[in-house]
Structure 1
Amino acid sequence: MIKTGITGQSGFMGQHVYNYLGTKPEQIECVDFKRELFNNIELLEKFVSSCDVIVHIAAMNRHENPQVIYDTNVGLVQKLIQACKNTGATPKIIFSSSTQEERDNLYGKSKRDGRKALEKWANEYGGNVISLVIPNVFGPFGKPFYNSVVATFCHQLNHNETPEIYKDGTVNLIYINELSKVFYNHIINQSTEKVELVTVSHTARKKVSEILTLLNSFKKNYVENGVVPNLTDSFEKALFNSFASYIPKDYFPRKYTKHSDNRGAFVEIMRANTPGQTSFSTTVPGITRGNHYHTRKVERFAVISGKASIKLRKINTDKVYEYHLDGSEPAYVDMPIWYTHNITNIGDTELITLFWINEPYNAEDPDTYFETV
């Protein structure tokens, strides 16, 4: 077991890396980090002494005064180094740097100077530092107007605002799940190099206008008409899952149009521009199914008969969202990634649920992690 702590655990990148490591319990033991540790040297010393590996992500990205960004980011590195010196701890430190290192701005300079300070500590005190130079990162739950243009556009489109492009440049991108895997690989790597500088390759290269065009199509086709987009392209699937995380929770459940006549009723369950697997279940009263989450799969629950409660909870948070569905008015709820979910028969009759998911179940790569809602 590798005891791993993540500074900035509650931030965009930090929470994703923490959650990704949580899917590897046979290898990784996560050491919790709280923001206030940087203001308490004793607690910080205890933290560094508890870790085999520290992923240093905590940093300020934006501020009206660039000098505050520089002072904050370099100061956090210095506090981390001092705690290691005070305790004699020599954990492997994986430092989150940026491609802005070479740019003439104080954010990039803070990353460059922070990296050099960590490398100096490693060489003098026997530590091990791996610095990852990371391109633009996007993914679910990013903070709009702070983390990325993707986060900003997703937020605006889902709040009926109109995004604007100020400069239609080309952006090198990496999806947060892909980046989390990079961190994981370096955590478990047994390299004995004291200092390593690794440039993380981007996995997509897009113009800002291309990104906005795709996001607009998700708004029109998915949000307004319920049509699941083509998810065969890895970037477009990642962008869709990012977009879906910004949809307000009161958007669901979505009621179907039910066509009834003297023969009975007809309901169109879904339209999708992508392959997938369809199945159904029957559930007796009082029974709950599910209690698991996915990290990449797009999944739809459609209740067509009986009464159901569908519950969702973002992992490592406490808030539970609950939806009541009744087959007399068929409706569906889509499951966002990183939300554990379940469905319970709350009626007196059999519950019939139709399920659609964008990839067939693969026992060797199920992308299904069990956790009670």
Structure 2
Amino acid sequence: KALLSDFCRECDFVFNLAGVNRPKDDGEFMKGNFGFASELLKTLEKHGNRCPVMLSSSIQATLVGRYANSVYGESKLRGEELFFDYAAKTGAKVFVYRFPNLFGKWCRPNYNSAVATFCNNIANDLPIRVDNEKTELELLYIDDLVSEMLDLLEGKEHRCDFSGTDTVLKSDGRYCAIPVTYRVTLGE
């Protein structure tokens, strides 16, 4: 907590990329996603630091379709609401990104990247499992995410709203988005 306090006192911009996505029990989602976001914002506020703050959320926060009963998505949505409330209360700029499925170099197989898992399994002659070939994935390449984060630092973020799980780029949107993603079905 002391280190967080020091950083929150001195920082000029916060990228909140922290989160829990593979807990031992579902209660850890709220503690790790909502709880840390709450502690971060309270600490910034305690120091009177109204620097811009970015939140990495998830498309699962839409709670639509296959994400409707996602405890993880609910914890991310609560974190988003916390950030938007913080902006209204303090006047600080907040940037909330709902990331789809990430892929790219250094992703861990069998963790949270289907692409990394498929690549690893195919390269090692291991079986791959597809439960529904019609499932569509929206994929975000890690280098495209990094480019957007650099644009964000320069005030050139891309704004959007959501229609279900679909990103709708919009200059006055509530959310932010990476404008380049890829859609595939698992049967392709």
**Distance in 1 (alpha carbons) for counterparts of 2:49 and 2:81:** 19
Match of 1:61 among 21, 34, 42: 21
**Distance in 2 (alpha carbons) for counterparts of 1:205 and 1:107:** 22
Match of 1:183 among 136, 149, 159: 149
Measured after TM superposition, the shift of residue 93 of structure 1 is: 0.5
Q: How does 1:228-247 map to 2 (within 5 A)?
A: none
Contact 1:174 1:204 in 2 (8 A): yes
**Distance in 2 (alpha carbons) for counterparts of 1:70 and 1:142:** 24
Measured after TM superposition, the shift of residue 96 of structure 1 is: 0.9
Q: What amino acid does structure 1 have at the position aligned with 2:54?
A: I
Q: What amino acid does structure 1 have at the position aligned with 2:185?
A: K
* Equivalence for 2:31: 71
Structure label with greater radius of gyration = 1
TM-score relative to the length of structure 2:
0.80
* Equivalence for 1:45: 5
Match of 2:109 among 144, 152, 164: 144
Contact 1:138 1:173 in 2 (8 A): yes
SS in 2 for 1:209: coil
* Equivalence for 1:130: 95
Q: Which runs of 5+ in 1 are unaligned?
A: 1-40, 211-373
**Pair 1:108 & 2:73 matched:** yes
* Equivalence for 1:203: 181
Question: Greater strand percent: which structure?
Answer: 1
Q: How does 1:1-373 map to 2 (within 5 A)?
A: 41-103=1-63, 104=68, 105-168=70-133, 169-189=135-155, 196-210=174-188
Question: CA offsets per residue over residues 199-250 of structure 1, 9 Å max, x none?
Answer: 444521111233xxxxxxxxxxxxxxxxxxxxxxxxxxxxxxxxxxxxxxxx
Contact 2:11 2:51 in 1 (8 A): yes
SS in 2 for 1:162: coil
Q: Which runs of 5+ in 2 are unaligned?
A: 158-172
SS in 2 for 1:157: helix
Question: CA offsets per residue over residues 61-93 of structure 1, 9 Å max, x none?
Answer: 123422221221111101101211221111110
**Distance in 2 (alpha carbons) for counterparts of 1:85 and 1:205:** 39
Paired residue total: 167
Question: CA offsets per residue over residues 311-345 of structure 1, 9 Å max, x none?
Answer: xxxxxxxxxxxxxxxxxxxxxxxxxxxxxxxxxxx
Contact 1:171 1:208 in 2 (8 A): yes
**Distance in 1 (alpha carbons) for counterparts of 2:23 and 2:2:** 29
* Equivalence for 1:254: none
CA-based RMSD = 2.0
Contact 2:52 2:94 in 1 (8 A): yes
- Give the direction of change, closer, same or farther, for the CA distance of 1:196–1:51 in structure 2 (3 Å limit): farther
**Distance in 2 (alpha carbons) for counterparts of 1:133 and 1:152:** 22
Contact 1:69 1:110 in 2 (8 A): yes
**Distance in 1 (alpha carbons) for counterparts of 2:16 and 2:24:** 24
**Distance in 2 (alpha carbons) for counterparts of 1:100 and 1:62:** 14
